[in-house]
Structure 1
Amino acid sequence: MTIPAGRSGGVSRRKLLKVSAAAGAAGSLGIAGSRLFAPAIAGPAPKVRLAWTEVAACHSPLGFGLAKGFYAKHNVDVELFYQGASGQTLIQALATNKADVGAGLVLDWLKPLEQGFDVKLFVGSHGGCQRLLASPASGITDLAGLKGKRIAIYDPGSPPKIAFAVTLAKAGFDPEQDFTWQVFPFDLLGEAVARGDADAAAHLDPWAYSIQKQHNLVQLADTQTGVYEGRVCCVLGANGPFLAANKDAVQRVAAANLEIHEYTANHPDEVAQWYADTLKPGISKEDLTANLSTLVFHNHPVGKELVKHIKHSVEDLKLTKVIDPGTDPEEFANRITLDIFA
């Protein structure tokens, strides 16, 4: 998938890091739990370059966490690298040593990993940041009503297209034969549906949330209910050589990630305020709060639980013929994940 460079909100990574560096350790955040890794704070903080998508609402906890001292609390020196907002550019950032760790959609990670890309997935972030939306004028109210209709997408390989191809396949349809997938510019999916150029749209938040509200679209599916109930959609992966040499640093990132996302689940308004003030996304703080409130930030699996999530996603991509039919989902899921706290 590709999001135009102009969607970056006009805030440079350098400015964000300057703001973040001024923040103290978040000792008063009060987030604790038996699942959290608690490293001894001794010696200089290890440096980790974390690739993220600053324009995506679901990635906002990463920037918020840096600005508010969550990573400093775990004695890890995180630098955010804006990797360009696509699965392809995320892989490139890690492969070309521009980042050590990256946050991305599960469905973006799996094919490169099947092809031998040296990354280990080690912690989940959240569930549910994609929506399948229909025009009220179309009369479509469920997946069955969508058969034979036109679905607007921004890229044939985009995560929303792949995710909802899985949803439709599991509902008994042939995703490629029973529907017409039409490509429109990223910013115009809502308008395409509103004008009647398409009957439905598959999009990412916060844009999916915005066009749903703006055009009063009917939600047919998302990636946190139905076939995706209880499933994680975004996970962090670490470059293999970096992980081998810096497992302690990656453990610290994982521990901070768990804490950051749990905090976001309980305080979406704070994260939305930071996002609105810092990244200027062109979406109101109120809409950002509402959008973040709908995402499942409590869902951040590690260890064996993460393996289960990845296994299900591999099975999904085999169903839609993205993953090789001979790939064993359980073996593959175990091979590409790491129990970071073991």
Structure 2
Amino acid sequence: MSTSSQPPRSDDEHPETGAGAAAPEPTEPAAANHEAVEPESASAATAPDEEEDLGSPEEPAGPALSRRKLLAGAGVAAAVVAGGGLAGWLTTRRTPGSGKVNRALKIGYGGGVCEAPLYVAYQEKIFEKHGLDVQIVKTGGDEIKDAVGAGKLDGAPGIFFSWLKPIEQGIDAKLATGLHEGCLRIAVPTDSPIKTVADLRNKPIGVAAIGDSAMSFFSLDLLDAGINPSQDVEWKVYPGDQLGDALAKGEIVAIAGSDPNALLPTLKGKARELTNNTQGANREQFCCATAINGRLLREEPDIARALVTAWAEGSRWAGANVTQTAALEVANKYVAADQSIIEATLKTYGFDPSAARLRGALEPGIEKFAKTGYLDRKTDPRSLADKVYVDLGLTW
């Protein structure tokens, strides 16, 4: 059963999670103390190995500073100076993969083909190589954003446009790295009279959630066609795997979705692709980006850095091993599609993750996205880009 809804109002409020004071630095990172998510399905996390004692021998009690503590303090000070301040010091504190940490983290996903970098980093033990004990948790719809903001999840993938409004309204999360391009499509029935995006005026378009990645991105194409996306089309919500059926029944004239939901009807010969996010004026550098919980960023930036680095490594591996990645998605039931379809889909993506290029894409993207009416009228693109993006000192 479908429901019609308008995009979220710009004056909605989400209470912002307050920034907690940073705790004294432990010898080993403490285990996560986040409330557990109760998803419909979740991949079982590998139980962490029993950790060896990485702490230093106890110092003799007494008021005087020990030689070891003096040397440690001098090393920190030198790193701060040589590395260009605190950010430089955080960058040099720990090289990813250099030691055993087993920091427990929970990362959400929705079950899309495009979440391959996350699946790969988990299944190929790339997270473990970077000292992280990651559990990936399937969570649907906008719940994933609320869960990341509340710290129930430490991170999740997603197109940056769909995170702009929640972060503007106060969700405690930031974007750190772009993972790949491609994966969003608009599909219409094969015999549809609709030839261009302009033909969608006053028509019902199916989406998996109001404000999701596809709705957010293709609102820019509607805007270019002279269509107000918040007034001149009807957005109808269906579970992602039911969008094809709704299209076949004529309940909607088009699907705006991510892979595989918008792709399967086309591959089955029941629909044709009208446009995608690698075409036209709004071609973006990235489809999916990494969204990271704000508290993790503030209190454990080195852990966040290791997480993002491993995630990006998963993206590069997926791009270099498309067949193995498709097999991995099927074998672990991450995606409800045949391996041949997944493999063909992955070949259309560009896996070239970058933290620096994501920041460059944010400001012009926000400037145009503000014209859709989904953001506050007073939104300043540069200020929001600074609020949305976190610089973890990654230069790639």
Normalised to the residue count of structure 1, the TM-score between the two structures is 0.82
Q: Secondary structure at the match of 2:182?
A: coil
Shift of 1:328: 0.9
Unaligned residue ranges in structure 1 (runs of 5+): 3-7, 22-36
**Alpha-carbon spacing, 1:211–1:248, altered in 2? closer, same or farther (3 Å):** same
C-alpha change, 1:233 and 1:284, in structure 2 (3 Å) is: same
Name the structure 2 match of 1:13.
43
CA distance in 2, matches of 1:218, 1:150: 17
8 Å contact kept, 1:52–1:104: no
Q: Distance in 2 between matches of 1:294 and 1:19?
A: 35
RMSD: 2.8
Q: Report if the CA contact (8 A) 1:51-1:90 is conserved.
A: no
Residue 209 of structure 1 corresponds to 263
* Contact persistence 1:126–1:296 (CA under 8 A): yes
Deviation of residue 48 (structure 1)?
Answer: 4.5
Q: Is the 8 A contact 1:50 1:103 kept in 2?
A: no
Partner of 1:119: 173
Residue of structure 1 in register with 2:379 after alignment: 327
Q: Which amino acid aligns with 1:98?
A: K
- 2:121 partner letter: G
The one-letter code of the counterpart of 2:347 is S
Indicate whether 1:270 and 2:300 are aligned. no
Distance across 2 between alignment mates of 1:100 and 1:147: 39
C-alpha distance after superposition, 1:208-254 (max 9, x if no partner)? 11122124422111122223324212211222222222211222122
Bigger drift between 204-213 and 305-314 goes to: 305-314
1:96 shift after superposition: 3.5
Give CA deviations for 1:49-90 in whole Å, capped at 9, x if unaligned.
1422151111132122122122233x321312415122x322
Q: Tell me which residue corresponds to 2:240.
A: 186
- Whether 1:85 aligns to 2:140 is yes
Aligned to 1:137, what secondary structure does the other structure show? coil
Deviation at 1:42, TM superposition (A): 4.3
Number of the residue aligned with 2:113: 57
Mapped pair 1:301 → 2:354: yes
Would the aligned equivalents of 1:71 and 1:253 in 2 still touch at CA under 8 Å?
yes
Q: 2:184 aligns with which of 101, 115, 130?
A: 130
Kept in 1: contact 2:220–2:282 (CA 8 A): no
Distance 1:54 1:168 in 2: 26
Is residue 276–residue 285 contact of structure 1 (8 Å, CA) maintained in 2? yes
User: Could you say which structure has the higher helix fraction?
Assistant: 1
Q: How does 1:148-163 map to 2 (within 5 A)?
A: 148-163=202-217
Q: Rg: which structure is higher?
A: 2
Number of equivalences? 315
In the TM superposition, 1:234-273 aligns within 5 A as 234-273=288-327
Change beyond 3 A, Cα 1:40–1:212: closer
CA shift, 1:184, in A, is 4.1
Task: Say if 1:108 and 1:67 are closer, same or farther in 2 by CA, change over 3 A.
Answer: same
Specify the alignment match of 1:109 in structure 2: 163
Task: Name the stretch that deviates more: 150-159 or 241-250.
Answer: 150-159
Give the Å deviation of 1:11: 6.2
Contact 1:54 1:60 in 2 (8 A): no
